[in-house]
Chains A and B, each alone.
Chain A
Amino acid sequence: MQKITKYVLLDILRNRFMIAYTLLLLLISFSLFMLEDSTAKSLLGLMNVVLFIIPLVSLVFSTIYLYNAAEFVELMLSQPIRRRVLLTRMYGGLALSFFIAIFIGLGIPILLYATSVQGLLLVLAGTALSLIFSALALLASVITRDKARGIGVALLLWVYFAFVFDGLVLLLLFQFADYPLETPMIVLTMLNPVDLSRIFLLLQVDMAAMLGFTGAVFQKYFSGITGQLISAAVLLMWIFIPLWLSIRRFNKRDL
C-alpha cells in the first residue's frame, strides 16, 4: 500500500505552498551563507530557522493538509484499506515531502558552503522536527473535527514549544534556585523537542558557553554517546507517541 504515500507525495509536491516553503528555505540559507563570513555564524543563524520556522510550517501545513484531505480519507476508507495503513501512509507522504523540502532548502546550501558534521546534524534536526510536528498535527486533526479549532490547537502547540515552555522552565529555575537543578534540567529538556534540538545543536557548534553554567552539565551529558543516543531516542518517541495516539483515536472515529 505504498501507493497511498505516492499519491499524497505527488499531491503535496505540486502544492504551491510547499514549493514556496522550499524556495524560502533556500533563499534564507543562501543569504545567510553569503552575508556571514564565518560558516559557524551562518550555521547558528540557520539553526534559528530550523528551530522556529520548520516546526511552525510543519504544524500548520500538515494540519491544513489533513483537514483538506477529509474527502480523500472518506473515499479511501470505503475501499479495502486498513485505517492504520491509510493514516500512516498519509503521514509518510507528508514526512517525505518535508524531508525533500529540507534537503533542497537546507541540505544543498550546506553541502555547497559548509559540508561538515554540524551541517549534517542541522539537516537531521530539521527533519526530526518536521516529523515530530507533523505527527502532532496529525493528532490535532484526528482529535478535533472542526478545521478552525484544529489549526488553533496546532498554533497553540507551536507557541507552547517555542516560547511558553522556556518561560516555565525559567520560572522553575528561579523558584528552585537554591537546589542543584542540572539533572532535572536535562529531564525537562526532553519534554520539549525544540529545546532538545537547540541544546544538541548548540553543543555541536561549540557554543556551550552561551548556555551558562548549566552548559557544562549539558556538555558532559550530550557529548557522551549515551546522552546522544538517549536524545535521539527521545526525539523518536516524540514522533511515535503522537502517531500511535492518532492511530488509536482514528480507529475509533466515525466518518
Chain B
Amino acid sequence: MIEIKSIYKNFGRLAALTNINLNLLAGETIAMIGPNGSGKTTLIKTLLGLVIPDKGDVLFNNQSVLNQWQYRERIGYMPQIGRYPDNMRIGQIIDMMVDLRREKAGKTDLELMKSLGIDRILDKPMRTLSGGTRQKVSACLAFMFHPDVLILDEPTAGLDPLSSEILKEKIAREKERGRLIIITSHILSDLDDLVTEVVYMQDGLVKFHKKVEELQEQTGEMRLNKVMAVLMDPYYDPVMQ
C-alpha cells in the first residue's frame, strides 16, 4: 500500500534519513521503534508530504505522493504534539475539519469522541487544554474520516491509563477492518498484541523490518519489550542463537 523507495533527507549537515526502503501493506500494524532522533517522525512526515525528501520517492497505491495531495484523504494522522489554533474551540476545529473534508454529516466516525468524552467539552478553547486532552482531540480527528491508513505518532504518550486503553481498543478494531496502521511509540508494552511487524530505526537508518513472530522466534521472548531488550543488548549475537 505504501512503498518507500530509497529516501534520503538531510537537515543541514545532519542526515535525518539515509536510504530508507520499506514496503508497508494493508492489514499490517507496524511498530516503528527507535531512540529519540532516529528519524521516525521525519519518515512519517515524509509519508504525509510535510517533509520533502532530498532523494527517493514514496508510492501510495503505486502512485508517487510527491507534489500530490489527494491521497491524504485516505490517511488519518495523529501528530506527536498536536498543535491547533489557540483561539478556536474544540467543536469549531472538528466542524472545520468535517467541512474541509466534505464528509457528509452522519458519516463521520464519532466513536472515539464519545468514548474519550470529547463530545462533552466541545466549547472549550484549544489554548486551555492540557497536553493529554489535546492528544485526545488529535486521536478523534485521526479516526474520524474512516482512513485506510492510520499514522499514529506516539499515540499513548500523555494519555491517562483509561484513555490509553480506550484508544488501544479502537486501534485493535481498526486493525480488524484491514487498515494499515503505523505506530511509533517508546512504550513497548502498549504495542503488545497490536503490532504485526517491527521497523527498527537508528541514526536515520532502518536497522531491520521483521514480523513479530519472527523476532519472537529469534529471541525466544514473547513480550515486545523483552524482545527489543534482547535485540538491543550489545553482547547479543544473532548467529549464536
A residues with CB within 8 A of B: 1, 3-4, 7, 11, 14, 69-72, 74-83, 251-255
- For B70, the chain A residues whose CB sits under 8 A away are 80
Stretch at the interface among B21-29, B44-52, B166-174: B44-52
Contact with B51, one of A69, A251, A254 (Cβ below 8 angstroms): A254
Bound together, the chains give a CA A142 to CA B126 distance in angstroms of 25
Seed contacts A78-B48, A78-B72; 7 additional CB < 8 Å A-B pairs? A3-B96, A4-B100, A76-B100, A81-B72, A253-B52, A255-B45, A255-B50
Cβ-defined contact, B67 with A80, below 8 A: no
Bound together, the chains give a CA A252 to CA B50 distance in angstroms of 10
Bound together, the chains give a CA A69 to CA B45 distance in angstroms of 19
Cβ-defined contact, A75 with B84, below 8 A: yes
Best-buried of A71, A83, A252 by chain B (most CB within 10 Å)? A71
Knowing A78-B79, A81-B100 touch, does A11 contact B87 (C-beta < 8 A)?
Answer: yes
Least CB separation from A14: chain B residue: B87
Return the CB mask of B83-119 against A: 1 if under 8 Å, else 0. Answer: 1111100000100110111000000000000000000
Cβ-defined contact, A255 with B79, below 8 A: no
Cβ-defined contact, B83 with A83, below 8 A: no
Cβ-defined contact, A255 with B51, below 8 A: yes
- For A79, the chain B residues whose CB sits under 8 A away are 72, 97, 100-101
Bound together, the chains give a CA A149 to CA B71 distance in angstroms of 35
- Tell me how far the C-beta of B156 lies from the nearest C-beta in chain A, rounded to whole angstroms: 19
- Tell me how far the C-beta of B15 lies from the nearest C-beta in chain A, rounded to whole angstroms: 14
- Tell me how far the C-beta of A68 lies from the nearest C-beta in chain B, rounded to whole angstroms: 8
Cβ-defined contact, B50 with A78, below 8 A: yes
Return the CB mask of B19-37 against A: 1 if under 8 Å, else 0. Answer: 0000000000000000000
Cβ-defined contact, A3 with B45, below 8 A: no
- For B86, the chain A residues whose CB sits under 8 A away are 71
- For A253, the chain B residues whose CB sits under 8 A away are 52
- Tell me how far the C-beta of B35 lies from the nearest C-beta in chain A, rounded to whole angstroms: 21
- Tell me how far the C-beta of B9 lies from the nearest C-beta in chain A, rounded to whole angstroms: 8
Cβ-defined contact, A3 with B85, below 8 A: no
Least CB separation from B78: chain A residue: A78
- Tell me how far the C-beta of B63 lies from the nearest C-beta in chain A, rounded to whole angstroms: 14
Interface residue? B73 (CB, 8 A): yes
Interface residue? B235 (CB, 8 A): no
Bound together, the chains give a CA A76 to CA B97 distance in angstroms of 9
Cβ-defined contact, A254 with B50, below 8 A: yes
- For B101, the chain A residues whose CB sits under 8 A away are 79-80
- For B96, the chain A residues whose CB sits under 8 A away are 3, 7
- Tell me how far the C-beta of B102 lies from the nearest C-beta in chain A, rounded to whole angstroms: 9
Contact with B52, one of A4, A72, A80, A252 (Cβ below 8 angstroms): A252
Bound together, the chains give a CA A1 to CA B96 distance in angstroms of 12
Contact with B99, one of A3, A75, A251, A254 (Cβ below 8 angstroms): A3
Least CB separation from A78: chain B residue: B77
Contact with A72, one of B50, B79, B85 (Cβ below 8 angstroms): B85
- For A81, the chain B residues whose CB sits under 8 A away are 69, 72, 100
